[in-house]
Amino acid sequence: MTLKNVLLTNAISSGMTGVLLATMPSVFTKLFETGNNTTFIPVGVFLIVFSIFVLATAMKESIPISWTKFIITLDITWVIASVIAVIALFSSISTIGSVMILAVAGWVGMMVYLQHKNLNRI
């Protein structure tokens, strides 16, 4: 898989997740068994903006290394923040919510690995 394809996959998956979170926060409020859906909307908006940046990076004729490193840094931050969130919120969200957060973190971690691997080839 080329760096461009990994970035496109990251952009699409981040964008789709962002749209779901931003437009259907009540679904996630029920899944996470929390009474507050205000967190899901800003996270969704962030993911939409992030996906646009990742898409713009992937569409460049020559993919900027510095932009890709920034994307990798944001993805690593997402993984770390996800683990911290699950630890901090474990008693106040559902098991399904914790598993979903960790599953997304695993996916993002795979994006980090593939982006980094392909970046080293350049």
Token readout for 70 is: 């920034």
Token readout for 117 is: 């691997």
Under a CB-based contact definition with an 8 Å cutoff, are residues 49 and 9 in contact? Answer: no
What is the overall mean pLDDT for the chain? 96
Cα dihedral value 18, 79, 121, 70, nearest 10: 70
pLDDT digit string, tens, across residues 100-117? 999 999 999 999 999 999
More confident residue, 103 or 35: 103
Number of neighbours of residue 1 by Cβ within 10 angstroms: 10
Rounded to 5°, angle at Cα 90 from 45 and 107? 50
pLDDT digit string, tens, across residues 37-58? 889 999 999 999 999 999 999 9
